[in-house]
């Protein structure tokens, strides 16, 4: 499968490629990750200037439309350059939920802020012991007059230390594990009673454990209908998997290219590594794994764009296949680079770390393999 991009989409891809090549090289990224903030506000502002922060939204919200296809283009290029800025969390996750569920006022105000680069977001859905279950929500949200009061704990909230606002899932009715009764709230990251314990993740980003203790949220900050947040999160997970698979494809593409180049220059026993037939076979296997993953990722993207009813099953299949293929390619790349593959000075180790993080976001391959099997 090969998606034929429109002229506008080709221009978008070319502009992203050109910017990342000129201003987001491997050494530039290393300096950003090693910095105190761990991300670059200057780069974020340039993303806004390029229109990337609005690109997946509908045209009436300042975007290019065709959200899944636009997301695929951007995330694939970001995967090739290991971009750490919270594009996925802010634009794909939070922006997607706001566009799907928000009132006209929320869309107009909040999407404009995202597009202009004025606000960063994170999605707080996971809890200790939830094991990828979107309905396992013990954070409570009690209605008190014109406010909701939130209490509980969220775990492994990616990019939360960078976020100005959070979208938090909380239970307004029912019991822990029930599909009904989960609601979504917009919460200021500096709200009274909200405590955030940040830490570095294996791929050089930041995450946080979040504790909410009687955090008051105006009723106007409810996103969507009360008690119907699970369906929205399920749709969000499908879109998220599409974006993550595209990012993984970008990383896998660079791993294959780096390994092929290394095999042409590194000599062993007086000849290049690429001359050994057994290593040629391994690199062919890496190429095949990548092409199979690309085809499935593109199929998922087109299915998301068409709002097909079977998208959830396909998303789980893609997360499984791409996850296993990415790990295989990463392991082969590191081994074929020898000891250098384990060093921070070489790119392949950083790609492998990012692949490992993608693997467990919104469910690891084993989790999604079981979901796919149950849906069969």
Q: DSSP of 242-305, one letter per residue? A: HHHHHHHHHHHHHHHHHHHHHHHH-EETTEEGGG-HHHHHHHHHHHHHHHHHHHHHHHHHHHHH
Which one, of 313, 322, 271, 265, lies nearest residue 75 by Cα? 322
pLDDT tens digits along 91-130: 999 999 999 999 999 999 999 999 999 999 999 999 999 9
Look at residues 122, 118, 121, 112 and name the one whose alpha carbon lies nearest to residue 54: 112
Q: What does the pLDDT look like over 70-88, one tens digit per residue?
A: 999 999 999 999 999 999 9
CA angle 185, 175, 135 (to 5 degrees): 55
Q: What residues does CATH 1.20.140.10 cover in the chain?
A: 231-375
Give the mean model confidence (pLDDT) for residues 271-276.
Answer: 72
Q: Which CATH architecture has domain 7-119?
A: Orthogonal Bundle (1.10)
Compute the radius of gyration of the chain from its Cα atoms. Answer: 21
Query: How many Å apart are CA 171 and CA 256, to the nearest integer?
Result: 45
The per-residue DSSP string of 67-132 comes to HHHHHHHHHHHHHHHT--SSHIIIIIIIIHHHHHH--HHHIIIIIHHHHTT---EEEE---TT-TT
Interval 301-321 mean pLDDT: 94
The average confidence (pLDDT) of the chain is: 94
The CA distance from 44 to 185, in Å, is 25
- pTM for the whole thing? 0.95
CATH 2.40.110.10 residue ranges for the chain: 122-227
**Average pLDDT over every residue of 199-218:** 97
Closest CA to 9 of 60, 77, 61, 94: 77
Which fold would CATH assign to domain 122-227? Answer: Butyryl-CoA Dehydrogenase, subunit A; domain 2 (2.40.110)
- 343, 237, 331: which is closest to 286 by C-alpha? 331
Residues of the chain with pLDDT > 70: what percent? Answer: 98
Is the pLDDT at 344 greater than 90? The verdict is no
Three-state DSSP class for 185? strand
Say whether pLDDT at 314 is over 80: yes
CA distance 237 to 374: 17
What's the confidence (pLDDT) of residue 273? Answer: 73
Domain with CATH 1.10.540.10 in the chain: 7-119
State the CATH class of domain 231-375: mainly alpha
């Amino acid at each position: 499968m090969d998606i034929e991009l429109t002229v506008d989409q080709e221009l978008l891809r070319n502009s992203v490629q050109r910017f990342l090549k000129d201003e987001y090289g491997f050494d530039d990224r290393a300096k950003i990750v090693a910095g105190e903030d761990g991300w670059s506000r200057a780069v974020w502002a340039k993303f806004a200037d390029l229109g990337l922060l609005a690109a997946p939204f509908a045209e009436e919200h300042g975007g290019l439309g065709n959200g899944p296809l636009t997301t695929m283009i951007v995330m694939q290029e970001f995967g090739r350059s290991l971009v750490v800025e919270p594009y996925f969390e802010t634009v794909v996750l939070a922006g997607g939920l706001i566009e799907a569920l928000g009132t006209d006022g929320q869309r107009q105000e909040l999407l404009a802020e995202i597009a202009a680069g004025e606000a960063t977001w994170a999605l707080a859905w996971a809890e200790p012991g939830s094991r990828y279950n979107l309905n396992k929500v013990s954070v409570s949200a009690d209605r008190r007059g014109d406010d909701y009061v939130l209490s509980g704990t969220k775990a492994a909230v990616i990019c939360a230390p960078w976020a100005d606002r959070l979208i938090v899932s909380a239970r307004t009715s029912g019991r822990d594990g029930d599909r009904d009764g989960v609601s979504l709230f917009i919460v200021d990251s500096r709200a009274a009673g909200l405590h955030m314990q940040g830490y570095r993740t294996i791929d050089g980003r930041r995450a946080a454990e979040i504790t909410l203790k009687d955090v008051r949220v105006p009723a106007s900050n409810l996103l969507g209908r009360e008690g119907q947040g699970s369906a929205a999160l399920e749709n969000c997970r499908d879109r998220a998997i599409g974006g993550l698979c595209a990012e993984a494809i970008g990383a896998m593409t660079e791993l294959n290219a780096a390994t092929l180049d290394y095999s042409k220059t590194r000599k062993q026993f007086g000849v290049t590594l690429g001359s050994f037939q057994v290593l040629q076979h391994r690199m062919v296997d890496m190429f095949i794994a990548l092409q199979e993953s690309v085809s499935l990722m593109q199929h998922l993207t087109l299915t998301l764009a068409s709002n097909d009813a079977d998208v959830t099953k396909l998303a789980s299949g893609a997360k499984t296949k791409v996850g296993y293929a990415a790990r295989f390619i990463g392991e082969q790349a590191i081994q074929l680079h020898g000891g250098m593959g384990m060093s921070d000075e070489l790119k392949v180790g950083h790609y492998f770390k990012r692949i490992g993080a993608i693997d467990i976001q919104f469910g690891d391959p084993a989790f999604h393999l079981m979901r796919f099997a149950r849906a069969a």
